[in-house]
Structure 1
Amino acid sequence: MPSFRATLQITGLRPGHAPEEVMDMAVAAVGAAHVVEANQLDIVAGTPRITVRFMVEASEHDAENQFARNAAVSMAHGVNTVASSGALRTYRRQTGKWLAI
């Protein structure tokens, strides 16, 4: 199964929500349709960024990419219920590198 990752900048926490809810929501949103392999939080240039790595069921290359994009959008939508966010990016693991799709 092809491996993908979605990254999302976190720009703020919505009132009444705990920081751990951000990653919980991200993993739940992606995990609703795909197998989540890993997740992590990084601070890049002072801005928190979450990453969720997941697998998509093998099919046709473009369809796999679209499933991954849809998963990333679902992740951002879910996270936006507990936090405000910035840039969303989706990557595919190919020939040992993460390539933007």
Structure 2
Amino acid sequence: MPSFRATLQITGLRPGNAPEAVMDMAVAVVGSAHVVEANQLDIVAGIPRITIRFMVEASEYDAENQFARSAAAALAQGVNEVATTGALRCYRRSAGKWLTV
């Protein structure tokens, strides 16, 4: 199965939500349709960024990329319920490199 990752900047928490709710929501949203391989939180240039690594069912190359883009969009929409967000990016693992989808 092809491996993808989505990164999303987190710019703040919505009232009433704990910091853990961000990653919990991210994993739940992507995990509802795909196998989540890993997740992590990084601080890049002073801005928190979550990364969710996931796999999509093997099919045709463009279809796999579309599934990954849809998963990333769902990630952003779900996380936006508990936090304010910034830049969203989606990548595909290919020949040992992460390529933008």
TM norm structure 1: 1.00
Which residue of the partner structure matches residue 39 of structure 1?
A: 39
CA–CA separation in structure 2 for the residues paired with 1:65 and 1:13: 30
CA–CA separation in structure 1 for the residues paired with 2:37 and 2:20: 18
CA–CA separation in structure 2 for the residues paired with 1:73 and 1:32: 13
Tell me how many residue pairs correspond in the alignment: 101
TM norm structure 2: 1.00
Residue type of the alignment partner of 2:11: T
Within the alignment, does 1:12 sit opposite 2:12 as a pair? yes
Per-residue deviation at 1:84? 0.2
CA–CA separation in structure 2 for the residues paired with 1:87 and 1:51: 12
CA–CA separation in structure 2 for the residues paired with 1:49 and 1:9: 4
Moved over 3 A (4+): none
CA–CA separation in structure 2 for the residues paired with 1:27 and 1:68: 14
Per-residue deviation at 1:87? 0.3
Q: Residue 72 of structure 1 aligns to a residue in which SS? A: helix
| Aligned-CA RMSD value | 0.3
The C-alpha deviation readout for 1:47-92, integer Å capped at 9, x for no partner, is: 0000000000000000000000000000000000000000000000
CA–CA separation in structure 2 for the residues paired with 1:14 and 1:37: 27
Residue type of the alignment partner of 1:80: N
Residue type of the alignment partner of 2:27: V
CA–CA separation in structure 1 for the residues paired with 2:79 and 2:69: 15
Unaligned runs of 5+ in 2: none
CA–CA separation in structure 2 for the residues paired with 1:78 and 1:68: 15
